[in-house]
Amino acid sequence: MKANLREGYIAGPGGRLWYGVCGEGGVGTPLLVVHGGPGFLSMTETYADLAGERRVYFYDQLGGGRSDRAADPSRYCVDGFVAELAAVREALSLKEVFLLGFSWGAALVCSYLLAHRPPGVKGLILSGPLLSTPLWERDQRRLVGRLPASLKEVIRTAEETGDFGEAYEGAMMSFYRRHLCLLDPWPPALEEAFGRLSLEVYNALWGPSEFTCTGTLKNLDLTDRLHLIGEPVLLTCGDRDEADPRTVKEFQLAFPNADMAVLPRASHFHHLEQPGIYKALLRGFMNAIEEGSVEED
């Protein structure tokens, strides 16, 4: 797959941004994948398998992966990343496009639509979506409440003292193996991605605790504005996802034109755990829109 990925750099508002594209012979509407984190990087696994029908694009957001670090850290904010997504789309000449946002990437994609109302977006795919920090924190507390008492105490102590050391990291990994990725061992690509996570970006937007936001996303809540997004939307999550399926259902009902799928025996990285189901869902959604059987705004 790597051999079929053409890579390059484009100029973004805050520095050079890495991008990759595969399936350049595909005739369908291109798909642009917007990764999560914040501060993560693009993982091409599963998504690249869709390249037989269409071009699939990836890019690393400023400060993460193979892209430049910001000279001015104040660029690590929602407005900065929204401007960056607009620049990426223009640089790649994606006049018509499907946008796929994973986790934090879902908030970024929806914020971009709400800020710019851009033409040519054929549909949105929001996987494990973060669209409201208050709701995300509520759900994390619910899931943490199911952990063994010793792990709950470690998390509570870390958040009170600010000591996010080895004990906290162990508790966090126990949570991750329940709700982030159920595969054992984790795929090498996921291990690599976590090893390259930009803490500068993550801490600026979210903060040092996985479960309580203290960064600039603290007051992010798009719920009351989702009705303004009329494009067709597909929301996906795992049945054990940290993006709680009940909350994802709330988001689905807030959009005027949205469907939802909960993948069985899967968590946040459900596209890695259930790739066959995930790809079938995405193909069905995009093909239906292109064939005109799903109404666009």
Instruction: Check residue 293 and give its pLDDT.
Output: 67
Tokens matching residue 277: 């189901």
pLDDT digits (tens, 9 = 90+) for 181-198: 999 999 999 999 999 999
pLDDT digits (tens, 9 = 90+) for 93-126: 999 999 999 999 999 999 999 999 999 999 999 9
Q: How confident is the model at residue 287 (pLDDT cuts 50, 70, 90)?
A: very high
Mean pLDDT of 14-34: 96
- Number of continuous H segments (helices) and E segments (strands) in the chain: 10, 8
Instruction: Check residue 297 and give its pLDDT.
Output: 57
Q: 179, 241, 244, 271: which one is catalytic?
A: 241
Scanning 78-187, the segments in alpha helix (DSSP H) are 78-91, 104-116, 133-144, 149-161, 166-179
Instruction: Check residue 114 and give its pLDDT.
Output: 98
In this predicted structure, the answer to whether residue 3 has a pLDDT above a threshold of 70 is no
In this predicted structure, the answer to whether residue 203 has a pLDDT above a threshold of 60 is yes
Active site (annotated) includes residue 132: no
Q: 179, 268, 270, 271: which one is catalytic?
A: 268
Active site (annotated) includes residue 241: yes
Instruction: Check residue 2 and give its pLDDT.
Output: 46
Q: How confident is the model at residue 294 (pLDDT cuts 50, 70, 90)?
A: low
DSSP string for 49-105: GGGGTEEEEEEPPTTSTTSPPPSSGGG-SHHHHHHHHHHHHHHTT-SSEEEEEETHH
Q: Which domains are present in the chain?
A: 2-290 (3.40.50.1820)
Q: 49, 60, 67, 103: which one is catalytic?
A: 103
Contact 264, 148 (CB under 8 A): no
Active site (annotated) includes residue 68: no
**8-state DSSP, 291:** T
Q: Measure the CA–CA gap between 131 and 118, rounded to whole angstroms.
A: 19
Contact 124, 232 (CB under 8 A): yes
CA-atom Rg of the chain in angstroms: 18
CA torsion 87-93-99-100 (nearest 10°) is -80
Average pLDDT, the chain: 96
pLDDT digits (tens, 9 = 90+) for 229-261: 999 999 999 999 999 999 999 999 999 999 999
Backbone φ/ψ region at 46: left (φ over 0), alpha (ψ -120 to 50), beta:
left
| Three-state SS at 167 | helix
Q: Which distant-in-sequence residues (6+ apart) come within 8 Å of 251 by Cβ?
A: 126, 129, 131, 223, 226, 235, 258
Helix (H) or strand (E) holding 33: strand 28-34
Angstrom distances, CA of residue 23 to CA of 56, 69, 280: 6, 29, 18
In this predicted structure, the answer to whether residue 156 has a pLDDT above a threshold of 90 is yes
Q: Measure the CA–CA gap between 60 and 64, rounded to whole angstroms.
A: 6
Contact 256, 148 (CB under 8 A): no
Percent pLDDT > 70 in the chain is 97
